[in-house]
Structure 1
């Protein structure tokens, strides 16, 4: 279910000059903010949680997920080059799983790693804040990558839809409407972070851990399966 050639081509597409610049900008901004906050306020657990929760998990992780998830397949569909890949003797689920694996890896590297470093800068992992938010970023990376990869297969406006979900639904509605929080990847990831933290109230989620885990797994699997089914409809005549 993993094809090295497809993976290599996907990495090359995601880490090209234009996308790489965007991918590096957000982590760099997080680290800059963390350094400035630490310089002006010293080590403060609450501030560390606010920065990591408010910027890293709520903004940086979903945006990187949009770039990596949609960028893993949407450009090939838009310019028609996906037809050449589909003409090869590679199963459609293998293509999707490979591209998802690459998207997850890129999202994790560019979101979880800087989240941990920023947490160490902010308060040296006091109250397990850096580790907890890093785990949340890792978990969220998987779900976001699957969701946005699916968007890349079903819509030519995947980036726009992904940005609306990440910045409007999760950040705005998720903070104002209780019901919206249940359908928020951010809240699911926060539930995992809350469970791994010290239980001092610095990290909290509107969703319980069992529900969060079930939804994370269900959404990831469902999005991956449907993306594979959608890709089948793009197959040349006579193909599977």
Structure 2
């Protein structure tokens, strides 16, 4: 179900000069801020949790997910080049799953890994905060990749919609409104981080079983819907 040629083309599209700069910007900012905080404030667990939760998990991860998820297939649909890919003797689920794997790999690399490094810079992984938020970022990366990959298949305005979701729902409403928090990928990922780190510094609106169930459900539903949409595009092209 994984096709190396499709993966190579997708990596090339995602890691082109312009997208690579966008992908590197937020992790670089996180690491610079983490270094500055460590120098100016010292090792502080509360500050570490605030920065990793408020910036890394709540803002950086969904934004990188938007770039990687929509960029894995959206541009090919927009410029029509997806027709050449669909003309190949490839199963549509293989195309979607390959692109999802690539999007997840890119999102984890540019979000979970910098989160781990930033956590070590901030407090040396005291109370397992660096590992907790890195694992949270990794599981969120999977759901975001599937969600935004789906968005890239169903809308020509996927990036705009994704940014609205990431910046308004996840970052704003998901941080202040109780109902919105329970329907947020961020909160589902926090339920995983909470199990690893201290409950006094990491808290989620949902329990771990519910968080895991919703993460799996969103990932599966997004992947399945994207596959069905790709089959519809194929039929339209053939007609």
The residue that corresponds to 2:134 in the other structure is 134
Q: Separation in 2 of the partners of 1:232 and 1:118?
A: 41
TM-superposition CA deviations, 1:123-178 (whole Å, max 9, x none): 00001000000000100000000000000000000000001111101111112211
Q: Is the 8 A contact 1:86 1:236 kept in 2?
A: no
Shift of 1:207: 1.0
The residue that corresponds to 2:159 in the other structure is 159
Q: Separation in 2 of the partners of 1:154 and 1:42?
A: 47
Q: Is the 8 A contact 1:83 1:236 kept in 2?
A: no
Q: Separation in 2 of the partners of 1:21 and 1:181?
A: 31
The residue that corresponds to 2:187 in the other structure is 187
Q: Is the 8 A contact 2:83 2:237 kept in 1?
A: no
Q: Separation in 2 of the partners of 1:131 and 1:138?
A: 10
TM-score by length of 1: 0.97
List aligned pairs for 1:167-186, cutoff 5 A.
Answer: 167-186=167-186
Which runs of 5 or more residues in structure 2 are unaligned? none
Q: Is the 8 A contact 2:58 2:186 kept in 1?
A: yes
Q: Is the 8 A contact 2:31 2:117 kept in 1?
A: yes
Q: Separation in 2 of the partners of 1:51 and 1:162?
A: 23
TM-superposition CA deviations, 1:154-206 (whole Å, max 9, x none): 0000000001111101111112211111110000000000011133x101111
List aligned pairs for 1:92-107, cutoff 5 A.
Answer: 92-107=92-107
Q: Separation in 2 of the partners of 1:180 and 1:47?
A: 25
- Pair 1:226 & 2:225 matched: yes
The residue that corresponds to 2:149 in the other structure is 149
The ranges of structure 1 where at least 4 consecutive aligned residues each deviate by more than 4 angstroms after the TM superposition are 236-239
**Equivalent residue pairs, number:** 239
Q: Is the 8 A contact 2:69 2:100 kept in 1?
A: yes
The residue that corresponds to 2:71 in the other structure is 71
- Pair 1:213 & 2:212 matched: yes
Q: Is the 8 A contact 2:68 2:107 kept in 1?
A: yes
TM-superposition CA deviations, 1:45-69 (whole Å, max 9, x none): 0000000001100111000000000
The residue that corresponds to 1:108 in the other structure is 108
TM-superposition CA deviations, 1:64-86 (whole Å, max 9, x none): 00000000000000000000000
